[in-house]
């Protein structure tokens, strides 16, 4: 049996607007966070995050299930669709630090913020994105969500 490995390919820095509370019920909370722009930079892809997408989050019992959809425009002009699903949870201590404005690193043991991005594009030079599996390690930083994206090999 082979052991999977990870190759760092780029970081997405998605700038966001304040959350919009939608509601749901006593045991869960639905919210939407607009994506307003950003950057992509790394050894395998560079470009910008286009405004207009967003992240829907359903929080149940302290864990948020995330589903973000937005577009990336690569430095060569190709447009890439991203659907990024994941989970976020933080201990009360880490949550308090984040609410106070502290940027908590992704490896803090009190923070779990992981994603599984899926990409779509017909640009030949970026087909590898649409034909491979990825995982992301995320963190909040200076009003943006930063996701280090790794190719699962």
pLDDT digits (tens, 9 = 90+) for 76-104: 999 999 999 999 999 989 989 988 888 88
Annotated domain spans of the chain: 6-152
Rounded to 5°, angle at Cα 9 from 117 and 79: 60
pLDDT of residue 126: 98
pTM, rounded to two decimals? 0.91
Say how far apart CA 15 and CA 140 lie, in whole Å. Answer: 10
pLDDT of residue 107: 86
pLDDT of residue 99: 84
* pLDDT less than 50: residues of the chain: none
Q: What is the CATH number of domain 6-152?
A: 2.40.160.20
pLDDT of residue 122: 96
pLDDT of residue 95: 85
């Amino acid at each position: 049996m082979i052991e999977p490995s990870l190759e760092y390919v780029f970081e997405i820095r998605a700038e966001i607007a304040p959350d919009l509370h939608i509601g749901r019920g006593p045991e869960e909370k639905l919210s939407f966070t607009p994506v307003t722009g950003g950057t992509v930079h790394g050894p395998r892809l560079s470009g910008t995050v286009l405004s207009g997408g967003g992240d829907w989050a359903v929080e149940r019992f302290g864990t948020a299930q995330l589903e973000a959809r937005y577009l990336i425009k690569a430095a060569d002009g190709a447009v890439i669709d991203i659907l990024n699903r994941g989970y976020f949870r933080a201990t009360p201590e880490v949550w308090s630090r984040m609410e106070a404005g502290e940027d908590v690193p992704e490896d803090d043991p009190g923070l779990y913020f992981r994603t599984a991005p899926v990409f779509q594009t017909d640009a030949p030079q970026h087909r590898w994105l649409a034909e491979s599996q990825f995982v992301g390690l995320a963190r909040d930083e200076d009003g943006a969500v930063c996701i280090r994206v790794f190719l699962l090999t």
